[in-house]
């Protein structure tokens, strides 16, 4: 199944559940589903066929997530454009990966205009919110407010071109299929606890792991609470306010949270999985985090080519029957994920 199929399952069963919430807006599953159909129809109606490579340049926000749903529904290929990258890097990525259409948030209008003027492949830019001078999404979809009729699922169809880290030259584009992403999500569902109506916090850039992990909650009607930028104490407040159950952060953000003098002043009882990844976490910091947040620290290890789930370590993997930490397990990379074959 594709991400959009999981979303549609959630929209069918939980139409009134909130799918996305940020400081400025919110969308129910039904509202986001309808708008994603309009966006997909507009993508096709404006001449972009299945397989067209499309980027979204935006901070974390509801509009960006809904636009992504429209992109997925249209059977286009996602080009994850991290707004924290240097502009020259994003221009190079869009050109080398043959990006044709760029959706952008008004806070990046200057960058979007330069991308349009500089790249050879981008044909059009569309602003996803209202505070901009160029074509606005609401106007762009106006004549295409109709259900999008897609084709049958192709598990081996291209879902996204994810850029690598670029440690040995310019970033390469990793061709991830719908089956790759389905396996990624299936491994998380198999190893960790996902239930109906969970509350997921998106605070790391949604262009990568945090965004995909937000999609893991679609089929069960979970809500994605979205922060535009990393704010260590703001994260603690959101966990308590919205009873967050899951979120992903890199170790650097975990360390900043643990360093706050009032880190123990908030209620973390709702947490099921505080997922730390993208870099190794020190054993002492893991133990400190378990002491502060409870036995919810969770890790998964992978790479862009095998996204995020080669091995996994859930809380119950490093605790004994009395709830004590098994240190040798805590400092390990976990166990091979059940939908992988790992060569020893």
Domains parsed from the chain with CATH numbers:
28-176 (3.40.50.980), 179-336 (3.40.50.980)
C-alpha 257/C-alpha 251 separation (Å) is 10
Residues in Cβ contact with 233 at an 8 Å cutoff, skipping those fewer than 6 apart: 257, 260, 262
Select from 219, 302, 171 the least CA-distant residue to 8.
Answer: 219
Q: Render pLDDT for 71-95 as a digit per residue (tens, 0 to 9).
A: 999 999 999 999 988 999 999 999 9
Give the per-residue pLDDT at 286.
93
pLDDT of 309 reads 85
Inter-helix orientation angle 29-45/3-13, to 10°:
140
Which pLDDT score is estimated for 116? Answer: 95
Contact 218, 66 (CB under 8 A): no
User: What pLDDT is attached to residue 278?
Assistant: 75
pLDDT at 163: 87
Strand ranges for 90-169 from DSSP E: 101-104, 124-127, 158-163
Residues of the chain falling short of pLDDT 70: 166-168
Nearest of 291, 292, 293, 317 to residue 192 by alpha carbon: 317
* Helix ranges restricted to H, the chain: 3-13, 29-45, 62-73, 87-96, 109-118, 137-140, 178-191, 209-215, 232-242, 251-258, 283-293, 327-330
Axis crossing angle, helix 232-242 with helix 251-258, rounded to the nearest 10: 80
Element (H, E) at 338: none
pLDDT at 177: 95
From the list 342, 260, 273, 245, the residue with the least C-alpha distance to 302 is 342
Alpha-carbon distances, residue 132 vs 43, 65, 112, 182, 320 (angstroms): 20, 19, 11, 36, 56
For residue 234, the tally of other CB atoms under 10 A from its CB is 12
pLDDT digits 0-9 by tens, 249-261: 999 999 999 999 9
Backbone angles phi, psi at 161, to 5 degrees: -110, 100
What pTM, to 2 d.p., does this model score? 0.94
Identify the pLDDT of residue 167.
Answer: 60
Bridge partners of 57, per DSSP, are: 104
């Amino acid at each position: 199944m594709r991400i959009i199929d999981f979303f549609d399952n959630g929209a069918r069963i939980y139409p009134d559940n909130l799918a996305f919430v940020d400081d400025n807006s919110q969308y129910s599953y039904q509202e986001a589903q309808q708008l994603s159909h309009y966006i997909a129809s507009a993508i096709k109606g404006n001449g972009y066929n299945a397989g067209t490579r499309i980027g979204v340049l935006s901070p974390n926000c509801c509009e960006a997530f809904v636009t992504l749903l429209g992109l997925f529904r249209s059977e286009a290929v996602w080009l994850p454009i991290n707004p924290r990258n240097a502009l020259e890097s994003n221009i190079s990525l869009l050109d080398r990966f043959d990006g044709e259409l760029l959706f952008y948030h008004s806070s990046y209008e200057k960058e979007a205009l330069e991308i349009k003027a500089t790249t050879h492949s981008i044909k059009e830019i569309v602003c996803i919110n209202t505070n901009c001078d160029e074509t606005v999404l609401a106007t762009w979809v106006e004549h295409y407010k109709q259900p999008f009729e897609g084709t049958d699922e192709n598990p081996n169809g291209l879902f996204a071109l994810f850029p690598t880290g670029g440690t040995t030259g310019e970033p390469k584009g990793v061709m991830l299929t719908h089956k790759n992403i389905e396996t990624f999500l299936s491994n998380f569902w198999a190893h960790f606890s996902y239930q109906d109506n969970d509350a997921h916090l998106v605070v790391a850039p949604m262009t990568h792991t945090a965004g995909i992990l937000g999609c893991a909650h679609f089929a069960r009607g979970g809500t994605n609470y979205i922060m535009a930028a990393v704010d260590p104490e703001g994260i603690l407040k959101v966990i308590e306010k919205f009873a967050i159950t899951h979120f992903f952060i890199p170790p650097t953000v975990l360390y900043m949270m643990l360093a706050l003098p009032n880190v123990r002043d908030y209620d973390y009882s709702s947490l099921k999985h505080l997922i730390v990844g993208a870099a190794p976490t020190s054993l002492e910091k893991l133990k400190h985090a378990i002491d502060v947040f409870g036995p919810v620290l969770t890790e998964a290890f992978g790479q862009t080519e095998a996204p995020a789930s080669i091995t996994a370590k859930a809380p119950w993997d490093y605790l004994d029957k009395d709830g004590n930490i098994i240190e040798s397990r805590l400092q390990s990379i976990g166990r091979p994920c059940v939908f992988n074959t790992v060569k020893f």
